[in-house]
Amino acid sequence: MYRYETHLHTVESSKCGVTPGREYPAIFKERGYDGIFITDHFFHGNTRPDRDLPWPEYVDAYMKGYEEAKKAGDEIGFKVFFGIEENFEGDEYLIYGVGRDFLLAHPEIPHWTREEMTRWVHEAGGAVIQAHPFRDRFYISKIHLFPDGVEGIEGINTANTANDNLAALCYADAHGMLITAGSDTHDKAKIGDMNGGILYDTPIISEEDFANRLLLQERPKIFYPDALFEGMEGVRVKLPAEISRGGSWVKLSHEEIRKWILDAGAAADKAKSQPEGIVREIVNRLESGIKKQVPALDPRTGKYAASLAAMIRKETVSSYEEGQTAKFKEFRVLLKRLFHHIFTVCEMTEFDNGFVLRWPGQDAAKAPVLFMNHHDVVEVADGWSHGPFSGDTADEKLWGRGTLDDKGGLWAMLQAADEMAAEGFVPERDIWFSSSCTEETDGRGAKEIAAWFQEQNIHFEMGFDEGGMILHEPISGVHATFAMVGVGEKGCADLKFTARSKGGHASTPGKNTPLVRLGRFMAAVEDSHIFRTELSPAICEMFRRFAPYMGKAGIVMKQPEKFALLLKMIVPSLSATAAALLRTTVAFTMAQGSEGTNVLPQSAWVNGNMRYSHHQGQEGSFKAIEKLAKKYDIEMEIVDPGTPSRITDYNGTAFKLIERAVQAIFPDVKVSPYLMTGASDARFFDEVCDQFIRFLPFRIDELQMNSIHGIDENVDLDTLAPAVDWYRYMIKEV
């Protein structure tokens, strides 16, 4: 394996440095290392250059230690890489993958916060490791832990005490973090048996190569002297301490830190008796990327969870007011770093509200295929047990907004493609990937992309977007696990209902005032049957597939057309979801009356969000509710008519491919078509795609289903690797 020192200071650039940079390469080469990273203290740390120098001169002076070491390394054929150590209130960060040009381009660095530093470094393709996070020294007044902004931590720093290193390892273990190791050497006289570092199976080619490995969570092996942990007498953590969670700093208690230590198997009494064994156990776990709590997971899970967590930590909430904003651009930069193989082989086209990738295939004459998942998410409310943008892993789950809707799907799709691109795979036909940042609002991104495909005369044989998932007992009484595959979706419209009057004072109210009429109207919509209940062919097929797992009720479900009348009465009573499959629905979501508490409104309105069925359609549903509104002297305005979309044949090639993929990756899972009650970007692609399927290959339970657009959205860690395998199958077989 290849051995590297990741943390080293020179006398030229660090005020606390003793040894000239030019002396290090020969020493480390003799000790069996393959390379070193010079990481001198930068502007806010114990830097040697005068901070009052003009910025270009400061940068030149700062680079001197590295440049001397690099020159000496080149002379003896030894790799010397550039790095940075920057300080904020005592907490320090090792930065890799950026160089002189980056520093010169940012003279505002002295004014950066931690958050700004990590954002700019990441945008430039660099990686950040928090150095010695639990160091107990006089210059550190408070511990700051920044998991939101870093790729990992320096789990072992051989200049630290055994206590501080074990605390760091316990913290990393509790959060599933990547770890590195380094000696933090300042003086060649202290280079001896106490050196540590990292090991990789392949040589590090450049600073950018190392940064990419960290960004992609390619966890190195680490080495350190066993003597480092001799004589330990327990694990203590200096307080006060704070941790960044979802963009906010939260105070840490002794109790939470103690839980990390206990969970890592390093309780004080145990650590005192056998510290070396405990440390090795934790290190082995962290090197594999799998936390102690989930030892049976697929070995890829640690890396997969880390890259999805990086996507979750990038907040991408969309709103109706926003167009293209900086956060979506930053998110796409992150995608390019996480999935650089597929972005390298694909042609990328960016739009105001989304992007597409074309992966050229072997047969240009064959109709292409489209895979889609959006990258915006909905807003969050209070009450989360884990930060909504934390990307925490706990209880064998990964937590955060977008884990299911729909960054999880985007991640699985791109991860599969990236792996296959790295392996040299070339698809049989052109494959396109599309992602918008407006799916959760008005869909204008997908609409823009679909229009562009039409202008370019690009027509797809089949397309695949987010949609149904894998559920046990998808409706009450179905005792089996089903992949619920959306073959269509109901149309979505916004309607405004307005009641008017002459107004007046609240002290002398008349009869049938606007709000009273609106209330009676809304109650009538709920209680009446203005929308037709029908069993579509897709729903009939769903019932037939459910029938063998429903006991005696399956006799009816097996023949839905014969028992249609009975089913139309029974199914709506099972749940609101079941009822929505059979008819148009309206939910009243917004309202406004007068501006004063003692004023009768001259007009009042409510917004109705309609999901219209295929059998009654857009126009038929509008007419039905408008007729009822007129009964209460209420006007109806169509604010947004929505976009009707067709149903894909469950006997077609796209659905059959989905069935084969599910059977191959999830052999215990049955497959059923269904109609989505929610809206997706797929609705805009009827003109450019023959068949469109809506499905995500994640196993979820009822609580997780309810967390979509709610609180505590999460995905099981053990469903990540199968999701990637499912997309790999699909990409190969299309």
Cα(482)–Cα(253) distance, rounded to whole angstroms?
Answer: 44
Q: Is residue 334 part of a domain?
A: yes
Question: Are 264 and 309 members of one domain?
Answer: no
Half-sphere exposure of 48 (CA within 13 A, CB side): 19
Q: For residue 657, tell me if it sits in a domain.
A: no
In whole angstroms, what is the distance from residue 34 CA to residue 513 CA? 83
Q: What does the pLDDT look like over 574-614, one tens digit per residue?
A: 778 888 999 999 999 999 999 999 999 999 999 999 999 99
The mean pLDDT value for 211-240 works out to 79
CATH number (domain holding residue 197): 3.20.20.140
Q: What is the mean pLDDT of residues 339-358?
A: 95
| Residue pLDDT, tens place only, 95-127 | 999 999 999 999 999 999 998 898 889 888 899
Q: Which domain covers residue 454, as residue numbers?
A: 303-466+682-733
Residue 624 per-residue DSSP state: H
| Structural domain contains residue 416 | yes
**240: buried, middle or exposed (CB in 10 Å: 19+, 13-18, 0-12)?**
exposed
Average pLDDT, the chain: 91
Pairwise pLDDT comparison (733 vs 477), residue with the higher score = 733
- Choice between 259 and 690, residue whose per-residue pLDDT is larger: 690
- pTM more than 0.85: no
Same domain, 271 and 328: no
Give the contacts of 578 (CB within 8 A, at least 6 positions apart): 475, 476, 571, 572
Chain CA centroid to CA 649, Å = 32
Is 652 inside a domain boundary?
no
> Is residue 340 located within the same domain as residue 201?
no
Domain annotation covers residue 658: no
CA atoms of 531 and 679, how far apart (whole Å): 19
Same domain, 182 and 224: yes
CB 88 within 8 A of CB 144: yes
pLDDT digits (tens, 9 = 90+) for 534-559: 999 999 999 999 999 998 889 999 99
Mean pLDDT of 642-670: 96
Q: Say if 209 falls within a structural domain.
A: yes
* Whole-number Cα distances in Å, 655 to 472, 557, 671, 696, 717: 20, 22, 10, 13, 27
Between 169 and 260, where is the model more confident?
169
Same structural domain for residues 255 and 225? Answer: yes
Band of residue 211 on the pLDDT scale cut at 50, 70, 90: very high
Give the pLDDT confidence of 425-479 residue by residue, as tens digits: 999 999 999 999 999 999 999 999 999 999 999 999 999 999 999 999 998 889 9
| CATH number of 511's domain | 3.30.70.360
Query: At 662, is the pLDDT very low, low, confident or very high (cuts 50, 70, 90)?
Result: very high
% of the chain at pLDDT higher than 90: 72
- Cβ-based burial of 231 (10 A; exposed 0-12, middle 13-18, buried ≥19): exposed
What does the DSSP 8-state code read for residue 650? T
Task: Please report which confidence band the pLDDT of residue 12 belongs to, taking 50, 70 and 90 as the band edges.
Answer: very high
Task: Examine the domain organization and report whether 699 and 602 are in the same domain.
Answer: no
**Are 213 and 235 within one domain?**
yes
Q: Assess whether the previous peptide bond of 164 is cis (omega < 30° from 0).
A: no
pLDDT at 274: 55
Q: What's the confidence (pLDDT) of residue 293?
A: 39
Q: Which two tokens stand for residue 83?
A: 């790095």
Q: Is 489:679 a contact under the CB 8 Å cutoff?
A: yes
- Phi (first) and psi of residue 202, to 5 degrees: -120, 150
Confidence of residue 392 (pLDDT cuts 50, 70, 90): confident
Mean pLDDT value across residues 310-327: 82
The answer to whether residue 235 scores a pLDDT higher than 80 is no
* Cα distance between residue 712 and residue 81, in whole Å: 42
Q: Are residues 283 and 313 in the same domain?
A: no
The string of pLDDT tens digits covering residues 25-51 is 999 999 999 999 999 999 999 999 999
Q: Token pair for residue 216?
A: 């992609």
Task: Give 655's contacts (C-beta < 8 A, 6+ positions apart).
Answer: 485, 487, 648, 649, 673, 691, 693
Q: Is the dihedral of CA 263, 265, 266, 272 positive or negative?
A: positive
Evaluate whether residue 550 is within a structural domain. no
Among 292, 321, 345, where does a domain finish? 292
Residues 257, 320, single domain; the answer is no
Q: Where are the beta strands (DSSP E) in 65-210?
A: 79-88, 91-96, 127-131, 143-145, 152-157, 178-182, 197-200
What's the whole-number mean pLDDT along residues 563-579? 87
Tell me how crowded residue 510 is: count the other CB atoms within 10 A of its CB. Answer: 10
Residues near 455 by beta carbon (within 8 Å), at least 6 away in sequence: none
Closest CA to 211 of 129, 147, 145: 129
pLDDT tens string 172-209: 888 878 999 999 999 998 887 668 899 999 999 999 99
Q: Contact at 8 Å (CB) between 89 and 240?
A: no
Residue 699: give its domain's CATH number.
3.40.630.10
Measuring CA to CA, which residue among 401, 89, 457 is closest to residue 249? 89
Q: How many domains does the chain have?
A: 3
**Beta strand pairing call for 152-157 and 178-182:** parallel
Residues 393 and 256 in one domain: no
Type of residue found at 492: C
The span from the CA of 7 to the CA of 121, in Å, is 18
Q: According to the model, what pLDDT value does residue 322 have?
A: 59
Please give the average per-residue pLDDT across 414-435, as a whole number.
97
Residue 292, pLDDT score: 39
At residue 239 the predicted structure's pLDDT band, cuts being 50, 70 and 90, is: confident
Please report which confidence band the pLDDT of residue 233 belongs to, taking 50, 70 and 90 as the band edges: low
Is residue 248 over pLDDT 80? Answer: no
The residues near 651 (Cβ < 8 Å, ≥ 6 apart) are: none
pLDDT single digits (tens) 473-526: 998 889 999 999 999 999 999 999 999 999 999 998 889 999 999 999 999 999
Q: Domain check: are 282 and 366 in the same one?
A: no
| Sole residue written with tokens 């090795």 | 280
* C-alpha pair distances (Å), 218 with each of 212, 302, 314, 460, 574: 8, 10, 20, 36, 48
pLDDT band at 90 (very low <50, low <70, confident <90, very high): confident
Residue 482 lies in a domain: no
Question: Tokens 């060649």 label which residue?
Answer: 188
For the segment 263-308, what is each residue's pLDDT rounded down to a tens digit?
A: 665 444 444 455 566 677 777 767 766 443 334 567 788 788 888 9
Output b/e per residue, 79-94; b: 16+ Cβ within 10 A. Answer: bbbbbbbbbbebbbbb
In this structure, the answer to whether residues 441 and 523 fall within a common structural domain is no
